[in-house]
Structure 1
Amino acid sequence: MNKLGNKTVDIDAVERDVQGNILRSYSRHLVRHLMLEVTDARAARRFLGVAANSGSDAVPRITPGSDWGKDTPPSNFNIGLTYEGLKALGVSRRTLGTFPIEFAEGMTKRAMKLGDFGDSAPDKWPAPFDAPEKLHIVASIHADKEDELDRVEAQVAKAFTVRGARDGRGLGRGKVFFGYKDSISQPKFKWVKNPKQATVDEPLDPLGTILLGYPTSMEDMTFGVPQPDALGLNGSFNAFRVLAQASYEFEIYLDEAADFLLKHQDADKLLPPGAEKTVGKGLDRRAALREIVAAQMCGRWRNGTPYELSPDTMDPDPDVSLTNFDYTAQSRCPAGAHMRRANPRGGPIVQRIATYTRRLVRRGMSYGPDFDPETFDRKNPDKRERGLLGNFLGANLGAQFEAVMCDWLNVGLQSPDITGSNDPLLGANTPETSRFDLTLPKGGRITIRGFPRFVRVRGGAYTFLPSLTAIRYLSKL
């Protein structure tokens, strides 16, 4: 038992009630996200009732958040419900009114706040995301073998109409198509044992960061719980996003930026002559400048080393922590770097909020064909779509996901140095208006411009991730 104010929390009971992949990640090789429509509410509720208990030969069991130890199941199955999905299952108007407005409106109606316009606008999204009123459930199957994905999908299809699917896979070495090592910094929650985070040395996050019904780090405020408690308590919200990554355009822009910097009057201030040998093994001056641009845009070198702790080399000796650092007014890491914008840590920001208050749990896998930045044909690049199937989880979509996307990534309200500019990697950029300030070692900056939008939104939905108790509640409507 753990004390939380005047309450006692049985964390083991909480973990058994919460769906899996929220407090801990699965670390599977494959995922399949099924976009489902409820066309027979009675059959759907019956399916959920069985799935929320022990499952059966015909119905997969919904995986809880408790640690299964060495008894790894062949697959994991979880669900997220849209607002329209709750309606389709028979949730009353009164109960629906207790859910937050962001969730009720849905991702498509929140598009402008998220920066989803132009090529990322919802009217450009392919099926099944072009009909949000029929997207009721996002069901996720995680496994290590494709035939297991097929087996579970066949079970699900007997109770729901499958309107579409998106398959993802791990790329190996924890990297994404832009070449960066990803998912290094994730919230670590009080009382939750997670061997994968044993060496993470960041501050602990309260349960209220991710679960409804518990205090947050925002002055101990608790986000509103949809009512009744049997439905809302121990639930969470998810912004599911299909994010196409223009990996070849990113590499080509790094070429262009390096060529620009080679001729710049302050090039030697950014990279002193001969220092390319320090940046990385085997790099010439142009290649070193490419990696400096990539590192400053992200806030990490592509191997994961934080730029803040090692601004001169991607291979520091001795090694530095991947997570234990902060930003200051004197930081070498640019204020506009993606990692710093998305998580300012304890660094100075203009807005009156405590540090570490907009933390998001990120879960995702890549989709699309392989891409090798070192060998791709620059004159005839492979333009097949590839990217990330991303899940951005938190207890409040507005205060966490939308605030990060709008205030920090696409407006830059946290610092006057970046206000009016967009995140260089995820932002809604255009070649005509984009800009990014590279920091120089001894002060000053070089501004680079002309980069396109590297990440386009190709679909998504806001979903509610109900607890096992809540799924049983829904099954009895």
Structure 2
Amino acid sequence: MALEFLKRIFNPNKVEIELNEIQALILRSRPIPYFGTVAIIEIKDAVAARQMLQKLLPIVSSAEDWHKNEGASVTLTFTYKGLEKIGVPKESLETFPESFKEGMADRSRFLYDIGVNDPKNWERVFKRSHIHIAAAIIANNEEAWKSKLEEFRSKLADNRGIEVILSHNFSVSEEVKNVFGFRDGISNPEIEGSGIEVPPGFDRPLKAGEFILGYPGEAGTIKPFPQPEVLGKNGSFMVFRKYQSQVAEFNQFVKENSSSPEEGELLAAKMVGRWRSGAPLVLAPEKDDEKLGDDLQKNNDFSFKDDEYGKKCPFSSHIRRMNPRDSKSFVLEDERLHRIIRRSVTFGDIVPPDITKNDGKERGQYFIGISANAMGTLEFLQKQWANDGNAQNLGTEKDPVIGVQDKDALFSAPADPFIKRYRGLQTYNIVKGGEYCFIPSISALKWISELP
């Protein structure tokens, strides 16, 4: 845990945004380890929902002490239908982006949610139009999580105007690995003005307006945000997607395309772009380096400029597609404009590499991505970088980890003397549901709770 704090140094003299108004999830790192609960709430009565919100307000966490990253935090977000249901005036609702108004399921054509990811195949709770509030309780220890969860539930007790339609607990140990056994959540952009002091070797922070509404972005201008100002400023947008991971199928593909466990580990690393420890292939191209993977100062301090031909880290690997850094072969404008803060959480047990039969258990990830333009960013990443090979001159190749694979899907890994090509990939992370959410500021939550 100490290494995480070495990376994120707080300097109060560099604070230029209203930390006490911003919800903690936007700035606070996901703890190591973490324990938490995701809850989805349906509003049945607006007055009762506003009363609930008034009770919850004292326990909603601001980002004022984001750098301490201790105890438990509570986050509240609203879907467009949720804002509508709780009584936000029509003139304010009209100031929200059209993609947010439509919702994730109706934007499937922009997300490349087709085939197994088509919304018609989603879990029943996500097919309904009754997802109004998405809440999260996340803590760095089990005791704090249980205590805060009990306090959260007590605020909802005996309120017949709301219904919790989904509640899912999750936890991850100090290793912070996903169900595939890979270290997770290594690379995230930082926000200028938050007080962050970035060590040498890390990307410079992005302008606050790229992630928080009401501030200048990278272009130097303040983008339009929901009105009145008390509702929109210091808020943000969040994308929320539930994935079911097909780990046994992933393991089977690796086994079928390798002649030894060592060769299999290299192929798996080539698909992800990192070894299971978190060590990037660019810095450890031949074998895993656990010391490097554990070093949070060094495991993200790299670029692709010295791997011009992709022989260390393939162009189609997951991390190279999702954050191309300075890949010369990419057809793109500024990759910094497509960054998203990830606060994703894993649920279910890790499946060892030798397990190749699906046991049918629920395991995967709740993808949580935050940006002032979260809807547009996710739609770009999904449709262009994850599922379109043209940006990397790779034809029909998809992201091997999150792509929606076609029949006879291909993954290629440049090598000497020839490119290695592997066929028969499946969709290894299947979308089971999701929604677009608005993260109101602390003052906006109070404003909503006091609507007439």
- In the aligned structure 1, how far is the partner of 2:373 from the partner of 2:67? 30
Q: Deviations over 1:371-399 (max 9, x none)?
A: 341564x4x54221210112011110343
Matched, 1:342 2:322: yes
- 1:185 aligns with one of 187, 199, 216: 187
The 8 Å contact of residues 309 and 414 in structure 2, kept in 1 or not, is answered as no
Equivalent of 2:23 in 6, 11, 19: 19
Structure 1 residue ranges without an equivalent (≥5): 1-8, 56-60, 260-285
Residue 63 of structure 1, aligned match among 61, 67, 71 = 61
Q: Does 1:371 align with 2:343?
A: no
- Map of 1:142 onto structure 2: 138
**Judging changes above 3 Å, is the alpha-carbon distance between structure 1 residues 42 and 358 closer, same or farther for their aligned structure 2 residues?**
same
User: RMSD of the TM alignment (CA)?
Assistant: 2.5
Q: Which residue of 1 aligns with 2:403?
A: 427
Question: Aligned equivalents of 2:350 and 2:302: distance in 1?
Answer: 32
Aligned ranges for residues 389-404 of structure 1 at < 5 Å? Answer: 389-404=366-381
Match of 1:308 among 282, 307, 317: 282
Q: 1:356 aligns with which of 315, 331, 336?
A: 336
Partners of 1:31 and 1:39 in 2: how far apart? 26
| Residue in structure 2 matched with residue 37 of structure 1 by the alignment | 42
For the Cα contact (< 8 Å) 1:115–1:427, is it kept in 2? no
Which of these two proteins has the greater Rg computed from alpha carbons?
1
Write the distance in 2 (CA, Å) between the matches of 1:242 and 1:317: 32
- Measure the CA separation in 2 of the matches of 1:13 and 1:113: 33
1:110 CA displacement: 1.1
CA distance in 2 between partners of 1:110 and 1:162 (Å): 25
TM-score by length of 1: 0.83
Q: Is the 8 A contact 1:106 1:462 kept in 2?
A: yes
Distance change in 2, residues 1:111/1:446 (3 Å): same
Report the CA distance between 1:126 and its aligned residue.
Answer: 1.9
Instruction: Give the alignment of 1:71-470 within 5 angstroms.
Output: 72-73=70-71, 75-131=72-128, 133-143=129-139, 144-145=142-143, 147-148=146-147, 149-159=149-159, 160-193=162-195, 201-217=202-218, 219-259=219-259, 286-315=260-289, 321-328=298-305, 329-332=308-311, 333-348=313-328, 350-368=330-348, 370-374=349-353, 376=355, 378=356, 380-416=357-393, 418-430=394-406, 432-440=407-415, 442=416, 444-470=418-444
1:5 paired residue number: none
Equivalents in 2 of 1:433, 1:318: separation in Å? 35
Hey, what's the Cα distance between the residues in 1 that align with 2:383 and 2:443? 33
Instruction: Identify if the C-alpha distance between structure 1 residues 375 and 311 changes in structure 2 by more than 3 Å, giving closer, same or farther.
Output: closer
Cα distance, 1:15 vs structure 2: 1.0
Q: Which shifted more, 445-454 or 391-400?
A: 391-400
Q: Distance in 2 between the 1:128 and 1:359 partners?
A: 29
Q: CA deviation at 1:13?
A: 5.8
2: distance between equivalents of 1:199 and 1:238? 29
What secondary structure does 1:21 align onto? Answer: helix
Q: Indicate conservation of the 8 Å contact 2:225/2:232, yes or no.
A: yes
Residue range with higher mean Cα deviation, 94-103 or 313-322: 313-322
Q: Which amino acid aligns with 1:429?
A: Q
Change (3 A) 1:248 1:110: same
Q: Cα distance, 1:456 vs. partner?
A: 0.4
CA distance in 1 between partners of 2:352 and 2:289 (Å):
20
- Distance in 2 (CA, whole Å) between partners of 1:429 and 1:389 is 20
Q: 1-side partners of 2:173 and 2:200: how far apart?
A: 23
After superposition, the C-alpha distances for 1:94-116 in whole angstroms (9 at most, x for unaligned) are 21111111111101011232232
In structure 1, the residue corresponding to 2:343 is in which secondary structure?
Answer: strand
Secondary structure of 2:387 counterpart = helix
8 A Cα contact 1:239 1:393, kept in partner:
yes
User: C-alpha offsets along residues 50-109 of structure 1, whole Å, 9 cap, x if unaligned?
Assistant: 433xx2xxxxx1111111777944x32111100000101111222111111111110101
Q: Provide the rounded CA distance (Å) in 1 between the counterparts of 2:146 and 2:187.
A: 32
Judge conservation of contact 2:398–2:405 (CA < 8 Å) in 1.
yes
State how far apart, in whole Å, the 2-side matches of 1:410 and 1:71 are: 35
**Pairwise CA distance, 1:200:** 6.7
Distance in 2 between residues matched to 1:119 and 1:371, nearest whole Å: 23
Name the CA distance, whole Å, in 1 between partners of 2:278 and 2:423.
25
For the residues of structure 1 that align with 2:236 and 2:321, how far apart are their CA atoms?
A: 24
Letter in 1 for 2:22: V
- Say whether the 8 Å CA contact 2:76–2:136 is kept in structure 1: yes
